Amino acid sequence: MDGLKKIVRAVRSLKWYETIMCIVMLAISVYYAIKPEEGCPQWLAIINLISGLCGVMCVFLTAKANRMNFPFAMVNTTVFVIYLFYFGIWATFWLELIVYMPLNVFSWWKWTKHKDEDDELLAKSKKLTVLQNVIVTASIAAIAILVHFTLSELAGDSWMRFAENYGWNITIMQWLDSIIFAIGIVASVLELLRYKEQYAWWIITDVVAVAQYAIKKDPVYTTKKTIYLIEAFIGYHNWNRLAKKNTDNE
């Protein structure tokens, strides 16, 4: 019951523009759940509805450094892997399944150890040094290369198989999938450790995702990822403000 009260309190903390974005996401998701696009199974449309709503609630609360984002994150991750499996988007599939899912649990626990002085539901924010930023960038490049060549061997023609249906270059799409995977791992670790620079990387992945789903003409996920992108900028501002409060960078 206490957990439910915390979630309700977190939801009430949404700004008016976030509430509007949530309503837009709900309206589009419900419409396409009732009337799926041609070729989209009814069950997948319902999956998209759940993922859309939980996904935007997760990013809204994460942008506030509110640890009540993690219940929504767990539901979103669980249903989104079904979508990714259906379309053979393998790098992002494994990212959600073996990285995001366990990190959601661990990060939830970790954030409770570093609460903001003014609001116990919020976590303290930190910032990277110049050297740490260089290491983060190099790590992303190395992981992306490793993932690309590994999945090229393991997944073969099934990787990003849907790309040809939209006239996309499969090689480019596979590299984008690998880069998103790499950024997702590193940005998730930065989120776990409460570094504000996570949002610079989330913005990059969200720009790519919006373009992908827009070209794919997927209304639910295009809306969802557009909201992610908008909220990523808001999140960077909020976490930067919280980092300035936390002068010890603990």
pLDDT tens digits for range 205-235: 899 888 878 877 788 888 888 988 998 999 8
pTM: 0.76
Q: What is the mean pLDDT of the chain?
A: 84
pLDDT tier at 95, thresholds 50, 70, 90: confident
Higher-pLDDT residue of 109, 3: 109
Higher-pLDDT residue of 163, 232: 232
Residue ranges of the domains in the chain?
2-115+126-245
* pLDDT score recorded for residue 114: 76
* pLDDT score recorded for residue 167: 67
- pLDDT reading at 241 higher than 80: yes
Q: How do residues 16-62 score in pLDDT, each as one tens digit? A: 888 898 888 889 888 888 888 777 788 988 988 898 889 889 888 98
Q: Look at residues 54, 99, 93, 96 and name the one whose alpha carbon lies nearest to residue 75.
A: 54
